[in-house]
Chain A
Amino acid sequence: MTSTMYMQDDPSEHVVRHRPMKTEGQLRARLIALNLTSAGVPLLAALFLNDRLATSVFGSFTFGMLLLTAGMLTLIVAGLWYDRACRFHLAPQADEQPGLIQGSGPGAWGRP
């Protein structure tokens, strides 16, 4: 992986390289949004909802506990989804990238 490779400006290479980068960015943005939502909503509820958190949803299971459970489940599912999505959408293209060797690779911002 050298700067010489980066300087090569073959348009066909850009087609192969840019598509996965865009997909990776999209996947990452979705995971960040999911993570922030699932961790942030119960926290915001603690800050602003006060007694409404203790509202019963069914039996002794309260609204606050429902938020916490939903948040944790969303985080776990989002993590698994991200890994699966990266494996299916990114890995094949990443292998095609020139100069990418096992053990060291490009920065996530797209520099080779």
Chain B
Amino acid sequence: MSGEVLAFVESGTVAPQMALMLVIIVSFLLSLIAGMNNDTISDFFTADRSLSSVKNTLALCGDYFPITALLGSVGATALGGYDGMLVTISVAAALGALVLLAEPLRKTGRFTLGDMLESRVGGGAARVAGAVITVAICVPLMVVQLTVAGRVSASVLGLSRPGAAEVCTIFLGLLIVSFAAFGGMRGSSMIQMVKVVVVFGTVLAVTCIALSRFHWNFDNMLDLAARHSGGAGVFHTSGLKYGPTTTGRLDLASLCVTLFLGSAVYPHILLRVSASRDGAAARRASSSALVVIGLLHASLIILGLSAAATLGAGTIVADNRDGSTTLFLITDSLANGHAGLLFTMVACAAFVTSLSTVAGLTLATSASLTHDLYLHMSRRRATSETREVNVARVAVVVFGLVCVYLAVLFNQWSIVALSSFAAAITASAVLPALVYSLFWKGFTRIGLLCTLYGSLVCCAVLEVFGPAVSGGPYALFTARDFHWFPLQNIGLVSVPVGFLLGWVGSWLSRRRRPHASEHAYYVTT
């Protein structure tokens, strides 16, 4: 395993383990210093909307770029050819949707999903539904991020004993929970900024070294990549990821649709957008982030092609069947003499990426639990700001610990179903609800509840009876097969259902009560 090299090779100046410790200490100090002024709830969750445009753009890029994107994109391109590149570009393209939504979202002046939806249709039901959807998205996502981070940390540090990944997951989880609880949005933003600089710099450096190995001849690299993966007729056409069948192509389309529509409206991204100074700043940050994330994904695609050209699919699959260690393998292959430094950079990038993404998710969920459920549902609106911040910190810790426990529980299981489920709910429930509430006058509270709960049920049913849970190659229960839905990615069905439910619900409630939308207007004004 390439990662074992990291554990034993020294860079000459800084040992890799020391570099990781340095990252932890710097991150902890940054979140401590930045979080000293978290006196009010606005400070804690939105950094009092005081981040400058550049800082906000960097932090948005950081929030948008999880560990699964860093490790998954390179492997997907190397193993999936055209399919992998299409999936990678779909993730980056989702920011195009955020460019559209950022300004109106920020103009609502709210910072949680439930709060934003409540500002449109009024009533506590919208707030509770928003909180339920936030938890339903963030718990699986947190488990996925923590599990991947634990596995990668264990393999990079050369810890191969049974239980090593679980120990790494617990250690990382506790660190992140403490970062989020102490630092709040300010601390999280600082870590996100550091992460973007480290990750972007590392990926760019590795990409340049990879291209220089081919004497900057991109044509030669493409040719070799295709030859090592069964020829141009296989590598550059669709079918490598899910097979060249109709179901395989529909599965690919479903994944791309889910990523394109869902990646930009995760709860932690919404929280980040709401931390912008104003609507124009949110829009500007989104369009600038589109450029940065686009370049980053382009670099990852080049690295994936370079991995396919240098290593070939066989070597990558032999190391890890889903290709999530491809970035480390290609770094190892490119190292030649200065392995320690390059490896340390990549390991630090992966480590800080996992730290910051989970911190963002923890904050978004605790914001929803505190602001939407505790304050508004438990009739304690008159509580003091200090008490509210303390409740938020407790929510961060409790939610974080529950997720760490679940991540340890799921460590040896396939996480494909969890990540597919979270992405599908975001695309099928959050996006329709936001689009309708921001741009459609006729949207009613019933329509909103139909979209949110209906999509949640639809996603759960399709996911449980799909190949991601049983019957598929990466299924959660490998020994059992009770699936009847053919697609591993359910977005192709669940997204239209989500939009349809919102429209039908609104139409039916307006028929029953002709002045429903006017009522909603008076509630919100």
> Interface residues, chain A, CB within 8 Å of chain B?
1-3, 6, 28, 31-32, 34-35, 38-39, 42-43, 46-47, 50-51, 53-54, 56, 59-62, 64-65, 68, 71-72, 75-76, 78-80, 82-83, 86-87, 91, 102-109, 111-112
Contact = CB atoms under 8 A, between A and B. Distances in A.
B89 A68 contact: yes
A92 B22 CA distance: 47
Contacts of A71: 89, 93
Q: What band does the interface of chain B fall in when counting residues whose beta carbon is under 8 Å from A?
A: 35 or more
Contact of B232 (A3, A54, A102): A54
12 contacts: A31-B99, A38-B93, A42-B89, A43-B253, A43-B256, A51-B237, A53-B237, A59-B223, A60-B223, A61-B218, A79-B95, A104-B108
Interface in B108-149: 108-109, 120
B438 A83 contact: no
A46 to B, nearest CB: 4
Contact of B107 (A50, A79, A106): A106
A3 B439 contact: no
B104 A108 contact: yes
Which of A76, A80, A91: most chain B CB closer than 10 A?
A: A76
Contact of B525 (A2, A47, A80, A91): A2
B107 A104 contact: yes
Contact of A46 (B99, B109, B252): B252
Contacts of A1: 525
Contact of A83 (B90, B107, B283): B283
A82 B99 contact: yes
A43 B117 CA distance: 32
A83 B287 contact: yes
Contacts of A78: 96
Contacts of A51: 233, 237
Which of B220, B277, B284: most chain A CB closer than 10 A?
A: B284
B438 A107 contact: yes
Interface string B255-287: 011001000000000000000011110011011
B109 A103 contact: yes
B109 A87 contact: no
Contacts of B287: 79-80, 82-83
A101 B286 CA distance: 22
B228 interface: no
A46 B86 contact: yes
A79 B286 contact: yes
Given A60-B223, A72-B298, A87-B280, A79 B86 contact: no
Which of B103, B219, B257, B280: most chain A CB closer than 10 A?
A: B103
B521 interface: yes
A78 B100 CA distance: 11
Nearest to B521: A111
Which of B86, B92, B441: most chain A CB closer than 10 A?
A: B86
B219 A59 contact: yes
A64 B278 CA distance: 40
Given A50-B237, A54-B237, A61 B252 contact: no
Contacts of B218: 61
B279 A105 contact: yes
